[in-house]
Each structure stands twice: as C-alpha cells, then as structure tokens.
Amino acid sequence: MPELKLKLKGAIPANLMPFKSDLSIDEVEYRRHMRWLADVPGVGAIVCNGHAAEVASLTEDEQRRAIAVARDEIGSKVKLVAGVFTDGTAHAVRLARNAKAEGADGVLVFPPSLFMSGANLRPEMAYRHFASIASEADIPIVIFQYPVASGWGYSTEILLKLAEIENIVAVKDWSQDIVSFERNMRALRSAPRPIAVLSSFSASLYATFALGADGAISGMGSVVADWQAQMFDAVQRGDMKTASALNDKHFILSQAFYAPPFLDMHNRMKEALVMLGRLDRAVVRQPLEKIPSADMEQVRTALSKTGLLQVSKALA
C-alpha cells in the first residue's frame, strides 16, 4: 500500500488569529499562541488560515504572512496545514502554491460557495477542482467535508472518487451527523490507500474518537488542545474511563462556545484565552462584533466549572 505524503493523526488545533486594536495582525501574540499549541504533548499538526483564524477577513498577503510566521515559530516541531478558502479554482491553486512556498506541509481545501447550489449533482466539478489543486500546486490536501444537507457536503461516493487523487491525504469530517460520519469513515477505510478521517465534531469528539477517527481538527483546540490530545490518547489505549471524564469537561466548555448564535464560537474562544491569560485582547474583525456580557459570563462560568480558570490563576 503506498505511503501517504502527509500523515495526520491525533489532536490538530486550528489557531485563532490575534488582532491589535487597530485590527492589524498581532504577530507577537500570534507567535505566543502558536508556541503554546505546538508545545502541547500529542499535537502533531496545526491548521492556520481556517475559520478559527477568521480567514474570510484576511487578505491574501496576510494569509501568506500567517503561514510564514507560523512556520518560523513552530519550526519542524509539528506539521502545518494551511486553509485554502476561496470560490475559484485558479485562486485556490494560487493559495495552495503560496502555502507551499511559505512552508506549509499541506492544505485544507474549503468547498467553493458555488457548490452549495448542487455540487453533488455535478461531481465532476468537485473532482476537477481538487485535481487541479493537486496537479498544479503539488501539495498534500485535506478535504473539508460539510453536512450534505448544507449543499457544501460531498456524498460518500464523491469522497471515494476524490480519494483517488494521489495528493488527497485526509478528510476533515464536519458532517455533523454521526451516521454519515461512520459511513464516510468505513467507506474511506476501504480505499486502495490510507486516507485519514479527522473529526471536526468539536462539540462531541468522544463519540467520533470511539468510532475510530484518526484524530480531530478543531478550533476549540485553540483553547483545550491538551484535553483533546489526552482524550484521543485515552481512547487509543482503551482507557474509556479517562476519556469519558475528559469528555465531561470538554462538553461543558463546548456548550458555552457553540451556543447560539453559532457564528460567535471563535469569538467566544478568544475571550476564553484572554480570561486564561493566553491572549492580551479578544479583538475580532467585522462583521464579527464583541460578544455580549451575558455570553462572557457563560464562558467564564464554563471555564470555572471545568477548573481551567483556577489552574490559570494558580500559574499566574
């Protein structure tokens, strides 16, 4: 069986992007954040330029700089995967080439918004999109799988077809349906070569780990990469008691982060890092706005219930 060009396993946090008050990227804080993630035992890779990093608000130059700074800060300690967030194939190729030039080990390809209008009815579009990135950028690719009902998600059959592209090394499964997740995972396990299945069920990682996920790509990992790494390790060792206890704490925090409105999830995570003393500011770019005081209290309460706030104060 051929070797994967990039092996991804375990906890893979997607970093948050710190901004200064003038909305420029705060590189000092960004480096501090990336260093903490890379130093967590069990973290083998980090995703930059993803939703957690507010990629939609980053210019192409900022995205290149984010990759370069991340690579410089983490060195060869962990792998680096860069998000490719765009609607056009030619632009996706350029972003992937940029990522490779700045030292990324792979790219996470988001589905073009056009796919919402019926990519599963025209599977050749998805195939050519990924095949073009693979052939013209020549970099390992992770597929971002959305819920099929959203229009952006690929059917199991299309995922299997995409898996035939040599540079495809993994699927980040955010299908948000455990039945679909298991079906996709079992199908990909039957592929001619290994394709990693990485859970993005951040509000319910334990279930997907128990089913056999190879790891997780998670924005929530920016706050608790250590818990996620420990949970994955416990499941791998068959220590379900430890994994379940970690999941209980993880669940409390996830309920605060992923509460309605869902779009504030990473906004809330930034506030959590400020409360924990791991970021100086929780600045977000528009159209995001600072979360209301009630949400701040929910996050603070969750951090307190799980013991994170007390640990942070003890280390201060």
Q: What pLDDT sits at residue 312?
A: 60
Q: Which CATH class is domain 10-239?
A: alpha beta
Q: Where are the chain's structural domains?
A: 10-239
Contact 5, 167 (CB under 8 A): yes
SS3 annotation, 47-76 = EECCHHHCHHHCCHHHHHHHHHHHHHHHCC
* pLDDT bucket at 2, cuts 50 / 70 / 90: very low
Is the confidence at residue 167, as pLDDT, over 70?
Answer: yes
Burial zone of 296 (CB within 10 Å; 0-12 exposed, 13-18 middle, 19+ buried)? middle
Is the confidence at residue 1, as pLDDT, over 60?
Answer: no
pLDDT tens-digit series, residues 79-135: 999 999 999 999 999 999 999 999 999 999 999 987 776 777 788 999 999 999 999
Asked if the peptide bond before residue 123 counts as cis, ω within 30 degrees of 0, the response is no
- In the block, which residue shows the tokens 């199908």? 187
Q: What pLDDT sits at residue 110?
A: 96
Q: Provide the mean pLDDT of the chain.
A: 94
Q: Is 176 left (phi over 0), alpha (psi -120 to 50) or beta?
A: left
Looking at per-residue pLDDT, the higher value among 113 and 284 belongs to 284
Prediction pTM value:
0.95
Q: What pLDDT sits at residue 313?
A: 58
* pLDDT bucket at 267, cuts 50 / 70 / 90: very high
Q: What pLDDT sits at residue 122?
A: 85
Is the confidence at residue 4, as pLDDT, over 80?
Answer: no
The predicted model gives 17-37 an average pLDDT of 98
Q: What pLDDT sits at residue 186?
A: 97
Q: What pLDDT sits at residue 276?
A: 97
The predicted model gives 179-199 an average pLDDT of 95
Contact 55, 20 (CB under 8 A): no
Is the confidence at residue 279, as pLDDT, over 70?
Answer: yes
